[in-house]
Structure formats: structure tokens, C-alpha cells
Amino acid sequence: MKALPATLQTTYANLLQAHLNRPSFEFEGAPFTRKISGKTYWYANHRTAPGAALKQRYLGPDTDDMRLRIETMQAQRQSQADFRQHASSLVAQLRAGGISGPDRKTGPMLRTLANSGVFRLGGTLVGTHAFRHYDLTLGVHLSDGSGWATQTDDIDIAGFEKLSMAIEDSADPDLAEGLAHLGFQRRPTVGRKPSTSWILPDASYAIDFLTPSFDDDEKPVELPALKMWAQSLHFLNYLIADPIDAVTPYMEGLLVKIPRPERFAVHKLIISQRRKGARAKPRKDIEQARAIIWAMAEDQPYAIHNAIAEADEKGPAWRKALDQALSITFEAVAPIYNFDRDIIRFPGKVLGETRPRLFEISGEALDDHFDGNRGELNERHEPAIRNHSAIEAAMQWKFRRDPSPSTLLTSADVDQWQIEKRKAR
């Protein structure tokens, strides 16, 4: 895993800050007045989606407050132009530095979602499209560098039902109208069940709306702020709690919401163990979780630790799924002794990796807890082999709490493991 150049990380930080500081702009187009039945009203032309025809948007009656809004908007017009020029140049720098962006099909869809206020109104981008933002968020290349370029995954938008009801605001321009302009239509359903998905006529792409399920049933739920129905799913409440801001590198950039990377990783671990049917999706879940965990293990290990601990508190189903996803299997080969560091290495498989990873135990831990030959540094193999199963169990305990690409089991770790084993009896 390779870190992004510092210049690109700085460029992205500046782009994100520019979007967060973007001047407000209440409506597009030049405002104008119309007289109806002797009264004057303000309107503005706007587009529901890129390339759509201009439509008139009603702003309100001609009052002192409305004229003040118009004056404020006119004053901000130059600020908006300056913002777009600055943000576009930053996106261009990212693209020139090798950061890919969404293709010509995905970009307009995300732009329509952002322009309609989906992310402002509590929507969170989840799934693979959220994962593609973590390279810039974490400052590393998480995958092979293909990024958005070779992917055609569906777009998943998740939001809380109660938040959507409490906002007392709604998507504007109308989200359904914007999706229809891009060629989307509601996916047909059986009976009178509301549709929670929009698809292109050739079924090559879909936009799915999701919401957490707090009942046994996973049924469609209405999200009033988005004027959409969403499919409720278990475990989703954990994923989209406290999302973060990110910018999609498209045009001048699109400000979106994505899950915190540690929550994304832990959620992927859980659902990887609960998917049924095809093996491709669980494998992809594990790969994405592993990439994020490895990236955060060095400088943000406590974020992963705390995310796992919080998921464990959700109940036995959550803990069981994490137990399965974070399991370690030592290979049936002799451990490797490193004389210079006085550590013993056990090759093992974890998180779907095909090549074995080396798990280490210190010589001190071997001496203190596994009948090591203290002082006899050339005779480490025999007690390591004799206590193979116990060392594997202790290593499993540590990795389950604090997964990392390089796990070293110390004497203090084994002490804590033994204390927790006694408490569990």
C-alpha cells in the first residue's frame, strides 16, 4: 500500500475546505419578475440536471425581504464564479497527479444527487462508490490504482427515516425529476410494494435508496426529505452514524457524505459473513475492509479498535460475524525464529489473503507464558511448536481487538488475554 504524495494530499485538503467554505447561493439563473393579477412575483430559471431544459422556479412575492435576498444573491454571484474556478483547478491538479474520477455515466448521477440536496438532507453515499473516496480521505492508494475508471457499480444512498422526517426540508430540484432526465425509471415491483430502486432501461445501472431497519422485518420505508422510498436493512444504522464530508473529483468537485472509514471497514466485515449465494460480493467486502484496516493501522489504530468495540456491544450476532471475519489460521509449518529481534514468527492466513502473513510473538512472551528456554536463544522452536495452539489463540485474541498487517504478541498482551479468559469463565 503506497501513500499518496504529500502535494496531492494537500491539494485534496484545500479542495475539501473550499467546498466547506463555499458561499451560499440560493438559486441558479438570473432572477426576474412577473406580474400576475396586478401583483409582482420573483422567479429564476434553473436546470433540474446538467443538460436539462431551463425551467422557471418560483421564489416568492415582491417584498422587501425578497429584494434583499435577490441583492445578496447578486453580490455572491462573483464569489461563486471564483469558487468554481479555484475548485476546478484543484480537481485538475488531482487528476493530473493520477487521481481518477467518475466516468461520464456516474459523474452526472452523483451531480444530480448532490445538486438536489441529497447529502445536505442527511443522505450518505455507501458501498463501493463511498470506498473510492477513501484513497483521498486516508492519503493512500487502497487498491491497484484503477479507482473509478474500470468500475460500474450501482450507487447506494442511505439515510435515517427519523432524520428525514425531522428536517422539514426536501430535495430541490426534485430528485425524481432529475433522475428521470438522466434516463432512470423506478424499478418495477411486485404488487403495491413501493420501489426503492431506480434503473436505466437496459438495467446496466441502478441507484438504490437504503435506510436502517430497527425491526425484524426489512421493508420499504419512506424518506420524506428525499421524496423517496428506501429499503430498510439491518446493521446499516452503525455504518451511517456520524458520516464525514468528502469531495468527488468531478468537474469542480461534488461535496458528498460518506461513512467514517473505520465504520465502513467493520460494517464490511460483518455483512461479508451474512451474505448468501455468490462468493464474489463477500470477497469484495473483505478486500475493501482489509485495505482500510491496513491503511489505518499505522496512524489511526484506535479508530479501528473503537469501531470494533462499539460493534461488539450491539449483540451476539454482531460479535459472531466479527469473530468469523477476523479469524486467524496458522499454517502447519515450523515457526521462524529471528535471532536479531528475539521474536518467533508464525505464518498464517487472515482477511482473505492468499499469501501467508507473519504473526510474531516476542521471546519475552514465550519465556513468561509458554515455557520458553530463557537465555537459550537458539532453542526457541521447541516451546513455540509445543504451545502452537495456545499462541494461536492468544494471537487471535489480539488481532480480533486490534487488527494490523504486523501483529506482535507481547508478554503484556498475553497477561491481558489470560485475565479476560478468566473473566469469561
DSSP β-bridge partners for residue 44:
31, 57
Give 144's pLDDT tier (boundaries 50, 70, 90): low
Q: Is the pLDDT of residue 377 over 60?
A: no
- Cα-based angle 343, 348, 352 (whole degrees, multiple of 5): 140
* Residue 314: predicted pLDDT: 93
pLDDT of residue 47: 63
Average pLDDT in the 289-318 region? 94
Predicted local distance difference test score (pLDDT) of residue 152: 54
Concatenate the DSSP letters of all residues of 308-343 into one string: HHHHHTT-HHHHHHHHHHT-EEE-SS--EEETTTTE
Residues 170-185 have pLDDT tens digits of: 777 788 888 888 889 9
Does the pLDDT value for residue 146 go beyond 70?
no
Report the percent of the chain where pLDDT is more than 70.
90
| Confidence (pLDDT) at 169 | 63
**258-287 pLDDT, tens digit each:** 999 999 999 999 999 988 766 778 899 999
Q: Tell me the pLDDT band of 153, cut-offs 50, 70 and 90.
A: confident
DSSP collapsed to 3 states, 31-79: EEEEEECCEEEEEEEECCCCCCCCEEEEEEECCHHHHHHHHHHHHHHHH
Query: Model confidence at 150, in pLDDT bands (50, 70, 90)?
Result: very low
Domains of the chain by start residue, with CATH = 2-96 (no CATH), 106-259 (no CATH), 260-315 (no CATH), 327-424 (3.30.160.140)
pLDDT band at 371 (very low <50, low <70, confident <90, very high): confident
The helix/strand/coil state of 137 is: helix
pLDDT band at 70 (very low <50, low <70, confident <90, very high): confident
Q: How far apart are the first and last CA of the chain?
A: 41
Please give the average per-residue pLDDT across 40-47, as a whole number.
Answer: 78
384 closest CA partner among 413, 344, 416, 349: 344
Residue 168 pLDDT? 62
Q: For residue 79, what pLDDT is reported?
A: 80
| Average pLDDT along the chain | 87
Q: Is the pLDDT of residue 159 over 50?
A: yes
**Cα 47 to Cα 27, 60, 140, 254, 354, distances in angstroms:** 10, 18, 37, 17, 50
Range 122-142 average pLDDT:
93
Q: H or E element: which one contains 209?
A: strand 206-212
Looking at per-residue pLDDT, the higher value among 172 and 296 belongs to 296
Q: Which pLDDT value is given to residue 142?
A: 87
Half-sphere exposure of 285 (CA within 13 A, CB side): 21
pLDDT tier, 326 (very low <50, low <70, confident <90, very high otherwise): very high
For the chain, give the percent of residues with pLDDT over 90: 53
E strand or H helix at 165, and its extent? Answer: helix 161-166
In DSSP notation, 172-195 reads SS-HHHHHHHTT-EEPP-STTPPP
pLDDT value at residue 34: 85
Residue that wins the pLDDT comparison between 254 and 24: 254
Is it the case that residue 209 has pLDDT exceeding 50?
yes
Residue 67 has pLDDT above 60, yes or no: yes
C-alpha to C-alpha distance for 290 and 297, rounded to whole angstroms: 10
Residue 25's pLDDT band, with cuts at 50, 70 and 90, is: low
Residue 5 is predicted with a pLDDT of 94
pLDDT at 317 over 50: yes
Residue 148: the pLDDT is 47
230-254 mean pLDDT:
93
